[in-house]
């Protein structure tokens, strides 16, 4: 059974039009003599289903408008899922499979045609599994349907890179051009040339360390820390690691050009066309004392020397540390302490209820935490007590207390704590402009 649910539109603030029989089209759609509506490009504006008999459907004919949200409603057993999944979705998948060659279809197998006379105007279809609503902010329609994965792959393989500060297209440098740039930027400075081996992956990598040690290398950089290669060396297999091989360390001088050229060649080979260079400069040189730059035979900005790795799907993923904004970690919002909500009246003391989520003085674990923090600050010369007003400098101590409580509150698990945190924190839109 199908019924119109347009009455729900004011509540949802969206246009909802239900599928209707051919004799009763949705408002605004008029059938021509041919029985079909077409756009200026000649494409059908509706999906037409004739003689659907899958499962408990009783030979129904319906028209579903495109570019609108359509809801199919009815009592249990009326054929809602049979129409949406077993008829429309199944036919869309079957037609998609038929576009494959005969060689590919022999591995996929044949899909049965649903029990329907004809379906016209059917576009490629996506089905989202019916399950409990997932409130994880990292789960979207794109990730659930895996469309997001194909978009990331498209941008990683078919895109062109442009420098964000000059607006010029990135170029690919040769080894000689990289060496010339090193001399131009770091002449007279101490440098370390590194080749990336592992980028953002889990594992202990015992075999990798042993392999490079046998090749004569002495040091590696693990998660930003340079370490000596020793027998049976390994890292935590359950954590994400970045591992770079230390190729060479030297001072950039004219007589070192051959050695630098050979080291760059080895680094690009081991790092698959990517290398890192850390430098240590004297204060009088006019550049940062310490720093790190990347060089690549794949993507370089010729004007500024900025280098990028070859784009990968992870570079376009908000769920990956290599594609997510460093400020909000890809969520688009930042969790901060709202001091106006915590202290609405800063003339009150803490014991008088100056901290709104805590209320007045009483025996509570959270209240004792704040008291201890204020007493600790007072012992170190702040001059604040629980009987002092909550204005001026007390805000910073209280904000610190709430931030620490937020990070450690998972161990308490009470309903009071949830309300306490909601009143103390707020979400703000992330405005970080990640380069």
Could you read off the pLDDT of 296-308 as tens digits, one per residue?
887 777 667 677 7
Domain count, the chain: 3
Q: Quick check: 178 pLDDT over 70?
A: yes
Q: CB atoms < 10 A from the CB of 194, how many?
A: 27
**306 found inside a domain:** no
CATH number of the domain at 64, please. Answer: 3.40.50.300
The answer to whether residues 412 and 341 belong to one domain is: yes
**435 found inside a domain:** no
**163 found inside a domain:** no
**418 found inside a domain:** yes
Q: Quick check: 31 pLDDT over 60?
A: no
Higher-confidence residue of 235 and 339: namely 235
Q: Quick check: 21 pLDDT over 50?
A: no
- Residues near 323 by beta carbon (within 8 Å), at least 6 away in sequence: 314, 315, 316, 317, 330
Long-range contacts, stretch 176-185, CB < 8 angstroms, 24+ apart = 176/261, 178/264, 178/268, 178/295, 178/297, 179/257, 179/260, 179/261, 179/264, 181/295, 181/305, 182/252, 182/260, 182/264, 182/277, 182/295, 183/252, 183/257, 183/260, 185/287, 185/293, 185/305
**142 found inside a domain:** no
Q: Which residue range(s) make up the domain with 356?
A: 333-429
pLDDT band (50, 70, 90) for residue 263: very high
CA distance 18 to 74: 11
pLDDT band (50, 70, 90) for residue 285: low
Would you state the pLDDT for residue 131?
64
The answer to whether residues 202 and 104 belong to one domain is: no
**159 found inside a domain:** no
Would you state the pLDDT for residue 148?
87
Answer yes or no: are the C-beta atoms of 189 and 251 closer than 8 Å.
yes
**320 found inside a domain:** no
pLDDT band (50, 70, 90) for residue 380: low
**161 found inside a domain:** no
The answer to whether residues 184 and 291 belong to one domain is: yes
Answer yes or no: are the C-beta atoms of 241 and 321 closer than 8 Å.
no
What average pLDDT does the chain have?
A: 75
The answer to whether residues 94 and 200 belong to one domain is: no
Would you state the pLDDT for residue 195?
92
Lowest mean pLDDT among 33-37, 302-306, 394-398: 33-37
């Amino acid at each position: 059974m199908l019924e119109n649910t347009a009455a729900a539109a004011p509540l949802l603030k969206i246009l909802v039009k239900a599928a209707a029989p051919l004799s009763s089209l949705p408002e605004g759609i008029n059938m021509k003599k041919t029985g079909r509506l077409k756009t200026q490009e000649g494409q059908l504006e509706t999906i037409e289903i004739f003689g659907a008999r899958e499962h408990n459907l009783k030979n129904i004919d319906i028209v579903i408008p495109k570019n609108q949200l359509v809801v199919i409603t009815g009592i249990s057993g009326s054929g809602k899922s049979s129409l949406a999944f077993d008829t429309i979705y199944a036919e869309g998948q079957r037609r998609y499979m038929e576009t494959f060659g005969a060689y590919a279809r022999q591995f996929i197998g044949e899909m049965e045609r649903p029990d329907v006379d004809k379906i016209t105007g059917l576009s490629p279809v996506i089905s989202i599994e019916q399950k409990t609503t997932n409130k994880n902010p990292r789960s979207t329609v794109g990730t659930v349907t895996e469309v997001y994965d194909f978009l990331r792959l498209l941008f990683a393989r078919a895109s062109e890179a442009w420098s964000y500060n000059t607006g010029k297209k990135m170029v690919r440098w040769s080894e000689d051009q990289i060496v010339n740039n090193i001399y131009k930027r770091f002449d007279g400075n101490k440098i370390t040339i590194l080749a990336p081996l592992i980028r953002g992956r889990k594992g202990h990598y015992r075999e990798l360390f042993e392999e490079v040690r046998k090749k004569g290398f002495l040091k590696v950089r693990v998660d930003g820390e340079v370490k000596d290669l020793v027998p049976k060396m390994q890292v935590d297999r359950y954590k994400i690691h970045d591992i770079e091989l230390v190729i060479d360390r030297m001072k950039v001088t004219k007589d070192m050009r051959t050695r630098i050229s050979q080291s760059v060649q080895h680094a690009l080979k081991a790092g698959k066309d990517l290398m890192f260079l850390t430098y240590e400069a004297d204060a009088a040189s006019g550049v940062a004392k310490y720093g790190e730059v990347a060089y690549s035979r794949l993507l370089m900005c010729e004007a500024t020397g900025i280098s990028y790795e070859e784009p990968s799907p992870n570079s376009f993923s908000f769920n990956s540390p290599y594609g997510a904004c460093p400020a909000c970690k890809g969520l688009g919002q930042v969790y901060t302490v709202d001091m106006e909500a915590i202290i609405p009246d800063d003339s009150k003391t803490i014991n008088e209820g100056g901290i709104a989520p805590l209320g007045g003085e009483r025996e509570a674990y959270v209240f004792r935490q704040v008291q201890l923090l204020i007493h600790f600050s007072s012992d170190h010369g702040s001059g604040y007590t629980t009987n002092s007003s909550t204005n001026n400098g007390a805000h910073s101590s209280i904000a610190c207390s709430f931030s620490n409580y937020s990070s450690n509150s998972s161990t308490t698990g009470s309903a009071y704590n949830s309300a306490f945190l909601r009143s103390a924190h707020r979400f703000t839109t992330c405005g970080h402009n990640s380069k």
